[in-house]
Structure 1
Amino acid sequence: AEHYGIALSETLAIGDSPNDLDMLKAAGLGVAMGNAAAEVKALAGAIVSTNEEDGVAEALDRYILRK
């Protein structure tokens, strides 16, 4: 984000595992996959479908393309 001059508050991060927690905390909106670990879901600002149900596409459509 810094390289492109984008504030972290204007970013979206998508994760499903505990190793994604720092990334989700740093992003303006942290999105958890539907099959994410419980601690990831608890931290996330939004939860979308699982990775097998096109959750990433759902997040991009909902929070980026329709913005």
Structure 2
Amino acid sequence: MIVRSEPHFLEVLNKDAGKASALAELAALLNIDSENIMAIGDNENDLSMIEYAGVGVAMGNAVDKVKEAADFITKSNAESGVAHAIRTYLNK
């Protein structure tokens, strides 16, 4: 699999490797259902992880593909978007 995560970054990965497969392995090890996982990302290399998680969150500065796949769009990196997303879901 080939992913362009930045204008000057080209990532070449095994088709079975990625953030979603790593997250799935960890979830299985810890006996956590994917519906109980929040994944937060901003670029195409985060897409599979966001789709795998029960709650997929795109950063405010994320690329459009990630925003379209996400369940929720938080604030940008510069605005502490990760903290905002976690607080939002913990306060539900």
Which category of TM-score, normalised to the shorter sequence, fits these structures?
over 0.9
The share of aligned pairs that are identical, in percent, is 48
Please identify, of 31-40 and 3-12, the stretch whose mean Cα deviation from structure 2 is larger: 3-12
The one-letter code sitting in structure 2 at the alignment partner of 1:66 is N
1:34 aligns with 2:60: yes
Larger relative contact order, structure 1 or 2 (CA cutoff 8 Å, min sep 6)? 1
Q: CA RMSD in A?
A: 0.8
Superposition TM-score, scaled by structure 1 size: 0.93
Partner of 2:37: 11
**TM-aligned CA deviation for residue 4 of structure 1:** 1.3
Superposition TM-score, scaled by structure 2 size: 0.69
Q: Which aligned segments of 4 or more residues in structure 1 are displaced greater than 2 angstroms?
A: none
Q: Which runs of 5+ in 2 are unaligned?
A: 1-26
**TM-aligned CA deviation for residue 9 of structure 1:** 1.2
Separation in 1, partners of 2:29, 2:79: 32
Separation in 1, partners of 2:85, 2:28: 22
Q: Which runs of 5+ in 1 are unaligned?
A: none
1:49 partner SS: coil
Which one has the bigger strand percentage?
2
How many correspondences in the alignment?
66
The one-letter code sitting in structure 2 at the alignment partner of 1:59 is A
Structure with larger Rg: 2
